[in-house]
Structure 1
Amino acid sequence: HAGPAAGRHPLPDARQFAETVRMWGIDEGDTIVVYDDDHGLSAARAWWLLRHAGLRDSMLLDGGLEAWRAAGLPLQPGEVIPVPGTARPSWGRMPVVDTAGAEAMASGGLLLDARAAERYRGEVEPFDPVAGHIPGARNVPTAESIAEDGRLRPAAELAERFDAVGVDDATPVAVYCGSGITAAHAVLTLAVAGRPGVALYPGSWSAWVQDPSNAVAVGPEPDGASGRD
């Protein structure tokens, strides 16, 4: 999976990830809960990878460690060395698109850009050598799916937000970000909003800009943009 076409954060090797899952102590049939201390923006990548590996009973702790602390629940200090588990991951269970697929989605479906608005517009680019967005993509910053208390906004509110940019049952949808991390959070929030099955572009912007023949757009979305012909 290495190389520029894979972007800054390529997907792991399927065999290595399966071994890692077992090293985490995950057994076949386990329910898995992932969390972070970053409002789920990082943990959502683990949630997506686990589901991509066929571990469908994987969930995200809404609000993360902050919500756990706020609830007065216990924390355990020190290192934990789990007993190796028995899980047998089956890779390739979540929909993905490559660079060509993302381009096709922008013109014939709906391609969502999950980055902050200023990165989408090309005003700043802290990580990649080129600023801007994939032509035809709609900007739906995933950070705005999180409420002030660090939890996801209500499902109905999320659904309204995605409906407003053209997400519906009839249109194929894919999502990208800078390198495929926060876009995984967008996939999760779309599922919470009742729109499962959205494809992830793992290489995202960091892969797109590696090919100078790929077009780059800057500035805000045009009025009435739909992301579709």
Structure 2
Amino acid sequence: MKNIICILICGFVVGCASSGFNRGTLKGQLGVKTPVVTDAEIEKVLALKPNLPKTFKLGVFFKNSDSYYQFSNWRWSDEDKNIFLNLSKKSDYSEMITEVFQILPSTISGEGDLNSIRLAAARHGADAVLIVSGVGEVDRYTNNLGWSYFLIAPALFVPGSEADALFMANATLWDVRNGYLYLTAEAESQTSNTYIAAYGKENKQLLEVSKNKALKKLDEELLKMVQGIKKR
């Protein structure tokens, strides 16, 4: 009996602790695939110069995650995409961007790396391509009321569970012709939810809230970066 009690107590202690988020690992899932870098490649990049005309056509590529966890818990919605596909309709961008269109994954050949995306954008007639990527994760644990779950019934009415949902978003603007990187913008949002164990929201519902907030912040960060390009 004592052993059973000890096991239950240990399980509760472990469940109480939040495992947190490994932001380094999550950031590693953002962006597109990059080839092995050599000194020669670095020299080529350093020699690149901005080549974007004052008014340009913009292709937007929304990167889908290769991770099953990511794919099953969040997707790019039409509302998400319209934040970026409607840039030319916003006064802050209309002087620069004449047309915006989506680069679909089906038009990209190869492994989906930067060069493959640039090639697809070139076929669409884009001068620049904006690559938007995201990653999300949910951390669940019990709070100080979680001990009551030992009695089973409280799991139906005691809010002893917590869930933190983190979504990180990234946007990079590249020159289609020479691969020059014009800007990088990042944003993240973390939301917390206290719930009754039997009625908690699914991961996708929690991440949807964080995703919406993160993309709103990313839109704001992108504007700051674009204003910097205008001044060049």
Larger RCO, structure (CA 8 Å, separation 6 or more): 1
Higher Cα radius of gyration: 2
What is the TM-score with the length of structure 1 in the denominator? 0.22
What is the TM-score with the length of structure 2 in the denominator? 0.22
